[in-house]
Structure 1
Amino acid sequence: MRRTLGLLVALVAACLCLPAAAGAVDIQTVTTPLGLKAWLVRDKSAPALALSFSFEGGTASDPAGQSGVTELMAALLTDGAGALPGPAFRQRQEDAAVSLGFNASLDRLGGGLRTLSANREEGFELLRMALTEPRFDADMIDQRRNQTIASLNQAKQRPNSVAARTLMETEFAGHPYAADPSGTPDDLRALTREKIRQRAAALLLRNSLTIAAVGDIEPDELARLLDRAFGALPVGTPPPLPPQWTPPAKSRTVVVERPVPQSTALLALPGVARDDPDWYAALAMNHILGGGGQQSRLFHEVRERRGLAYGVSSSLRTYRRASLLVISTASANERIAESIRVVRAELARLRAEGPTEQELADAKTYLTGALALALDSSGAIAGLLHSMQVDKLQPDHLTRRAALIAAVKIEDVRRLARRLLADDSITTVVVGKPVGIVSSP
């Protein structure tokens, strides 16, 4: 399913906004006879098709006492459908060289289909069966449930997993985003086949679909296949969005003790929403701070200059009702306190001084070209088109992105740093046996 050079070069050109790229990537909006809408990039250079889609409603809307039901249901959709039990359904996928899977995020239930053009009828038929005739057999429910509970127990022994989970529980305390998407053992054990069916019925709604396709297919043919796969789904009301998140009113430090020689640390601050006018300034700021790998300030100060950690990075996380800037690192228990002090000092320095002109220029150069390098498969491109729709972007966004990045001024980044990088809004989670760090009251 790897893309050929032709489409990748066209996308690189589009993302770089070269004059010759004005029509290089043609994103068509396909409307089916049943009213479904999809974005399509046609490419005849390879006989394949990739589909990326999602439904509104994710793990954050799991019903009370049913945490983990959405993730479990998503996994079970391909564990048998129609007359085919789990092994037979998987064998039919393998025989047709079809890749079909589902996943759940906090806000959405997602899925993907990849198939050779010659087998697309079979691929869409398997998709239809999974969506409209899932079996939810008792043996598969037990198997998936036991796997999830085992994974939850294993995660409690891994410092990185404990830190990630503790951060979400702390930062989003009292909000649906705080719950573990995989659920709790008690809730998972209480899930019945009927509850799983009810969850599928609540989320698999035709009118809450977002669809993107990339590959060797005509628009009319895609419309026919989409109606075949999704047309029998009901129309209904998706689960409501969770409430808007309110960031914590003060900084907090949480220490989770584990008998390990190295402590893992996560620091989180309120971030920037995807539709915020400062989004591209945030991308540049994050790249300069810790998202730029070896070129970032945190890497230079924490690893290269002081040798405190093997790695340190920052990233932007966006959800429908919240956004975060998260910094991660790990150091020996005796040095983790110093690592955190250095991270905080760099936050303060960026807040007080902003970036240099050279740092901003380097960040813009990287951000302008980096997107295209990740578009190395039809699935990746379909995923990008799908994300653009979820983020309410227009089809011409790929050709405008470079100009939006170029328009970021140094004062934009300075202003954003003053807005976000405040000491009194940092949540710090440390997992290990850190020397000199204790939980705040």
Structure 2
Amino acid sequence: MIRRAFASVVFVLLAALPARAIDIQQITSPGGINAWLVEDHSIPFTAVTMMFKGGASLDLPGKRGAINLMTATLEEGAGEMDQTQFAEALESLGAALSFDVSDDALVVSTRALTENRDQLADLAKLSLTEPLFQQEALDRVRAQVLSNIRAGESDPQTIASKEMAKLMWGDHPYGTSTSGTVESVTALTREDMIDAKNLVLARDRVVVAASGDITAQDLGLFLDRVLGDLPSVGSAPLPQPAIFQLTGGDTVIDWDSPQTVVSFAQAGLPIDDPDFFAAFVANHILGGGGFSARLMEEIREKRGLTYGVGTGLSNGLYGDSWIGGMASGNDKVAEAVGLVREQWALMAQSGVTDQELANAKTYLTGEYPLRFDGNGRIANILAGMQLAGFPADYVNTRNAKIEAVTAADVKRVTARLLHPDQLRFVMVGRPEGLGPDAETVAAPE
């Protein structure tokens, strides 16, 4: 996937937080590891999420995909246990240990009953400090990664996303897939896996959150048990901010298909911008609100040009954008693209109505409690908050920030940001009726 996972973390923070007040304890383990904790002793179950800042963006030059491959191989045996024995040990506990990575963070998630928590801590520690990286397991996981890369080369949506990322971010890691290329992944060795692990796993890079049947004291012991033997300081510098390079216009990638897949984007704004919540509300009205959004109404409901169109604010640790996507028949896509630009300009010029604003606020402040359930979800959200730089009280102030947005705020931020001539459309297909300035790019071989 070229889309960065952190963007979805931010979406969860904005769209899926509890209406009830949450008591977040900020603790420090005896070994100096900071964490956020929500205690809940109603069931004997605990979830702990650990996010290592930097993630796949720390890939060395020429080694793109190494950290992704390493992450996928962490649970394939550790210590004195091969991949089968490690999986059996985890299964015997009825516990979950999973790993994921984006260009913003490598994520370690643990879930266990209270009685099995210490044993899970030992397995997690082994996977992070003594992974085997056996050649057989490495080759098997590599084959899966290569299969996914090759599948993406024949998927129009993936092709569009990759081209957009390259245009948007250039040589920054955001500009390429965390999975790497067939060539780069094929060349990776076991030694590259060891190097990749050492680049990203360090105590000064980690943020931690826990929720469930665990006290502050026990969480501190758990964290020291899992993370205490990792290096105290990361060996690689974190990436510099990405420079947004996208310009307006149309890019066409010729693809033999009766419909065209469309990705579009422009500059966004960081989550600490004073106008961020106004932009968040504006996006819901413009294209993020499903069937109630303007783009869906104009392009699907009124004209039947697409099955669906949507937009979102995409925020990473190193760069931000305002993105969207749709698909349309080759003979209809030019009209659909024109309507996106038209609605972009209309909102920038006129803002939103009082009714649109009220409806958006009602939805955004009312629907998110339905999604906030379970200790695992809470731990993920709290860790993501720390990674993004949110304060601990955000969970209890988020709705007030939405309610405080006025029509004037939305008008200000849309006039500032929404410029249809700055929208870039990447189209994979054989669109008809585009202007003479559309740029053609060769399809991947």
Same topology, TM > 0.5: yes
The percent of aligned pairs where both chains have the same amino acid is 37
User: What is the aligned counterpart of 1:103 among 67, 92, 100?
Assistant: 100
C-alpha distance after superposition, 1:260-290 (max 9, x if no partner): 2111101101111111111111110110011
SS of structure 2 residue aligned to 1:337: helix
Deviation at 1:220, TM superposition (A): 0.9
Where 1:328 maps in the other structure, the secondary structure is: strand
| CA distances 1:152-194 after superposition (whole Å, capped 9, x unpaired) | 1111111111111111112112323111110011111211111
Q: Which residue of 1 aligns with 2:384?
A: 387
Name 2:51's counterpart in structure 1: 54
- SS of the aligned residue for 2:313 comes to strand
Q: Which amino acid aligns with 1:28?
A: Q
How far off is 1:224 after superposition?
A: 0.8
Q: Is the 8 A contact 1:56 1:208 kept in 2?
A: yes
In 2, Cα distance between the equivalents of 1:238 and 1:116? 35
Structure 2 unaligned spans of 5+: 1-14, 441-445
Contact 2:198 2:235 in 1 (8 A): no
Whether the 8 Å CA contact 1:171–1:427 is kept in 2: the answer is no
The secondary structure found in structure 1 opposite 2:360 is helix
Matches within 5 A, 1:146-161: 146-161=143-158
Alignment CA distance shift 1:112-1:13 (3 Å): closer
Shift of 1:353: 0.5
Q: 2:38 and 2:240 mapped to 1: Cα distance?
A: 35
Judge which range, 275-284 or 363-372, deviates more.
Answer: 363-372
Q: Report the Cα offset of residue 13 of structure 1.
A: 12
Residue identity opposite 1:226 in structure 2: L
Q: Deviations over 1:332-358 (max 9, x none)?
A: 111111111111111010011011111
After the TM superposition, which of the residue ranges 252-261 and 325-334 deviates more from structure 2? 252-261
Matching residue's letter, 1:306: R
Partner Cα separation in structure 2 for residue 227 and residue 176 of structure 1? 31
Q: 2:404 matched to 1:368?
A: no
Partners in 2 of 1:330 and 1:215 — Cα distance?
43
Shift of 1:423: 2.3
- Distance in 2, matches of 1:171 and 1:208, equals 27
Q: Aligned letter for 1:276?
A: D
1:179 equivalent to 2:210? Answer no
2:159 equivalent among 151, 157, 162? 162
Once the 2 structures are TM-superposed, how far is the Cα of residue 244 of structure 1 from its aligned partner? 2.7
- Helix, strand or coil: the match of 1:428? strand
Q: Give CA deviations for 1:106-134 in whole Å, capped at 9, x if unaligned.
A: 12111111111121112111111111111
Q: Give the whole-Å Cα distance in 2 for the aligned partners of 1:207 and 1:172.
A: 27
Counterpart residue number, 1:353: 350
Q: Find out whether 1:223 has 2:220 as its counterpart.
A: yes
The range that moved more, 209-218 or 245-254, is 245-254
Measured in 1, the distance between the counterparts of 2:293 and 2:420 equals 20
Q: Deviations over 1:25-70 (max 9, x none)?
A: 2111121110111111011122211111111212222111100011
Q: Shift of the alpha carbon at 1:14?
A: 8.2
Once residues 296 and 268 of structure 2 are traced to their aligned partners in structure 1, the CA distance between those partners, rounded to angstroms, is 20
Q: Give the deviation of 1:252 after TM superposition.
A: 3.0
Distance 2:198 2:247 in 1: 41
- The DSSP-based 3-state class of the residue aligned with 1:253 is strand
Whether contact under 8 Å (1:268, 1:326) holds in the other structure is yes
Question: Which of 420, 425, 430 is equivalent to 2:417?
Answer: 420
Which amino acid is 2:439 matched to? S
Shift of 1:249: 6.3
Query: What SS is found at the alignment partner of 1:52?
Result: strand
Counterpart among 313, 317, 323 of residue 320 in structure 1: 317
Deviations 1:212-242 (A, max 9, x none): 0011111111111111011111112353333
User: Which residue is 1:39 aligned to?
Assistant: 36
Q: Which stretches of structure 1, 4 residues or more, deviate above 3 A after TM superposition?
A: 12-16
Higher mean C-alpha displacement, 162-171 vs 303-312:
162-171
Query: How far apart in 2 are the matches of 1:350 and 1:33?
Result: 53
Task: Return closer, same or farther for 1:103/1:354 CA change in 2, 3 Å cut-off.
Answer: same
> What corresponds to 2:62 in structure 1?
65
List alignment gaps of at least 5 residues for structure 1: 1-11
Residues in 1 aligned to 2:56 and 2:306: alpha-carbon distance in whole angstroms: 34
Distance 1:121 1:222 in 2: 10
Residue aligning to 2:129: 132
Select the residue among 285, 293, 312 that pairs with 1:288: 285
Structure 1 residues 373-382 or 211-220, which shifts more? 373-382
Which among 54, 76, 82 is matched to residue 79 of structure 2? Answer: 82
Q: Which amino acid aligns with 2:130?
A: E
Name the counterpart of 1:397: 394
Range with greater deviation from structure 2 (44-53 or 246-255)? 246-255
Residue 440 of structure 1 deviates from its aligned partner by 2.5
Q: Deviations over 1:312-368 (max 9, x none)?
A: 111111011211111111111111111111111110100110111111111112121
SS of the residue corresponding to residue 50 of structure 1 reads: strand
Residues 84-120 of structure 1: per-residue CA shift (max 9 Å, x gap): 1112111211121111111111121111111111211
Q: Corresponding residue for 2:138?
A: 141
| 1:123 alignment partner, one of 104, 120, 124 | 120
CA contact (8 A) 1:57 1:239 kept: no
CA distance in 2, matches of 1:127, 1:345: 52
The 1:256–1:362 alpha-carbon spacing in structure 2 relative to 1, beyond 3 Å, is same
Residue 178 of structure 2 aligns to a residue in which SS?
coil
Q: Which amino acid aligns with 2:422?
A: S
Take 1:143 and 1:407, find their aligned partners in 2: how far apart are those partners? 52
2-structure distance, mates of 1:14, 1:191: 40
